[in-house]
Amino acid sequence: MKHHKIFLPPEDIYPIDDWRIVQKSFSEKYLAQDETLFAVGNGYLGMRGTLEEGVPCAQRGTFINGFYESWPIHYGEKAYGYAEEGQTMVNLPDTKIVKIYVDDEPLALHVADLVQYERALNMKDGILARSLVWKTPTGKEVQIKSKLLVSMEYRHLALITYEVVVLNASANIIISSKLIHDDDRVVHADDVHDPRKAGQFEYSVLSVEHDIVQDDRIVFGYKTQNSGMTLSCGMDHLIETKNQYKRKIERAPHEGKCVYTVFAQEGQPFRLDKIISYHSSRRADPKDLCNRAERTIDQAITMGTDRVIQSQKDYMAKFWNLSDMEISDSDYRTQQVLRFNLFHICQATARAEGTGVGARGLTGSAYEGHYFWDSEIYVLPFLTYTEPRIARNVLKFRHSKLDQARERARHLNQKGALYPWRTINGNEASAFFAAGTAQYHINADIMYAVRKYVEVTGDEDFLFDCGVEMLIETARLWYDLGCFPKYGDGEFRIHGVTGPDEYTAVVNNNLFTNMMARENLRFAIDTVRRMQKERPDAFVTIQRETQLDMNELDDWQRAADHMNIPYDEVLQIHPQDENFLKREIWDLEKTPIEKFPLLLHYHPLVLYRHQVIKQADVVMAMFLLGNYFTPEQKKRNFDYYEPLTAGDSSLSACIQGVLASELGYYDLARQYFHHTVLMDFGNVAGNVADGAHIASMGGCWIFVVYGLAGLRDYNGQISFNPHLSNGMTFLKFSLCIRDAILRIEITPHETKYLVTEGDFLTITHKGETLDLKQGEMVVRRDQ
């Protein structure tokens, strides 16, 4: 990312606060990125941080994880096996809008005279709050305080509290609480130049199928045009005031609103609590979903809004107990943005049940809400070590899509199963096969995540109930995909694939792919044989259901044992693929800064002809499978590939930083740490307006734990080799390892280990084996 600048928002507007993202004055200049930074969600439901008034607005957005519209992919020249159906996460009806008029004067922040203003995302409590004093043209000062939360505890529930007080006069106030569905008929994705952005539809996706309009309540039921998915969204209101007021409810084709006319007396508050519910389904009747939304709303009313707010605080307290990272750094904003990254991972995953984790979570529409390898390689490590229940849910989602992966493999004339490169519903949605479908490593990435999850948690029930079936089918794919060439040297080779680096596509023997495939094959062999021995009854069932011939294991073993691992004896490095070193080197230093990212300024074929890397590829292999490289090989590989890496992916900096730290390039590692931790808050990629980079946020945790603390967990063996970056004086975090909770404290001169839960844990500290017992702190001082 050295070719990408950090754009920190000004500190006088966005002050440093360890537990909050704070905006002290409104600036329209930062509106689009604010809508991402202040987004709230729970992994099922997400809402961009748009203003309550609805205007000004850059990108309105309310999303449900896994709720999509499908559409046919059109090709100028189509070929056999191309993906046929696109999927796009639907921008849902907006229930956040609360407009206010004082003596018929509307509040619009970009033109309002604001005497006081603060907006703050409280990450400790999971609540977005705003407080302002507006001076109207007639001199009346109106104080407005609001809170917004998407409930972590109650998956389908959101809540807004909105309180208005006229401080120095009486006034006539109108408050209009809306549920609005915009009919945005814009261009489709084919016409969008930036492939990372999502297009819009040329038709109205949602049709109203049912509605309930009664008292202070409005509920709409919808159905999508093509995917047939159904949705309900509803709102109800509770009023608390001593002021006189009138209520009017209105219903239009794409809008419902409750309008309150308040005769406000000086100093007398008017409080509106807006209870919101969303439900979705692949097949349920919209009327039934409306009934579910009503039940959710009724439950919240019965509980009371104070209990809903307290449940949010309780959930977040449990989250931070295991997931928090305390850090002391000469860059005083580090603590704030580190927690900001962890908080957004929580918002993207907490209630992601029966779904994956989108590349931008539920903070924006970029990448159309699709799930990639990001989930398994960048987000799952954090979840596995801090929220194993959620990690299991994400992996179970992959298992639930195994039949579709089998079908996709058949479409590509292969045996076994091939998981889609990008998807929502389990079907391949990538129309660009060179940088999409050709990334067969997605199979091995998922199996790698399964292995890490099982090793760290000890959840062998998942391995044998779900994992083994995925392992059998992915191993079959690898053996069928590769070959022992007739005139070869006896090595197993995998041709026509793309590794993580999307600037080098459809190559032979990509190092990362081959090494990960080898791990996949070996893990499959080991798991099948263990199951046969340890769970013979279950093995008989899985053997029958998968039609497994035990002779297949011999084939897999032969392929793994003879896997081609590219190595150049002259340079003594591992080529990224067998022809990579034969290409012309791209001079990144002479490339104008305005030409980054390269993918927006150069034809793919131009990139494919050069040694230029979008994101870590060989370096990624050295991180995930570092036990197969010698220290000397790691250094030579890193030194060669570092100058070739454009860092045009938000996924690159964290991995390069971990390896830089391991190799002793501490100044470079610190640069990568800043780019990683500030990816969204500092708008490093230049597109935070389109949503948060959830995988990079996972990469932030990876950098701290694997880079600064030096965690390595090969084959389930936990070891640490800590080294804080210059300027850092303290780091503290926790890991959940099997039945134990391990707390680690690191300073430049010593490391402390304490098991707070669980009886016993064995780890390694800089080569020394430590047997840790609950409650007994072990301290190791550096010489």
Active site residue 502: yes
Cβ-count burial 395-429 (b if 16+ within 10 Å, e if not): bebbbebbebbbebbebbebbbbbbbbbbbbbbbb
- Give the helix, strand, coil percentages of the chain, each rounded to 5: 35, 25, 40
- Residue 130 CB neighbour total at 10 angstroms: 21
Query: Phi/psi of residue 374, each to 5°?
Result: -50, -45
DSSP states of 28-88 as a string? GGGHHHHHHHT-EE-SSEEE----TT--S-S---EEETT-EEEEEPP-SS--TT---EEEE
Distance in Å from the first CA to the final CA of the chain: 34
- Determine which one of 502, 552, 578, 642 is catalytic: 502
Residue whose token pair is 């990001």: 374
Pairing label, strands 127-135, 157-166: unpaired
The encoded tokens of residue 94 equal: 């907006």
- H or E segment and range at residue 756: strand 750-757
88, 189 Cβ separation under 8 angstroms? yes
Instruction: Tell me the H-state helices in 324-387.
Output: 334-349, 374, 380-386
DSSP state of 578: T
Identify which of 118, 103, 159 has the alpha carbon closest to the alpha carbon of residue 23.
118
Query: Phi/psi of residue 372, each to 5°?
Result: -125, -165
Give every CB contact of residue 467 below 8 A, 6+ residues apart in sequence: 395, 399, 447, 450, 454, 527
Identify which of 289, 298, 294 has the alpha carbon closest to the alpha carbon of residue 210.
289
Could you give the residue numbers annotated as active site? 502
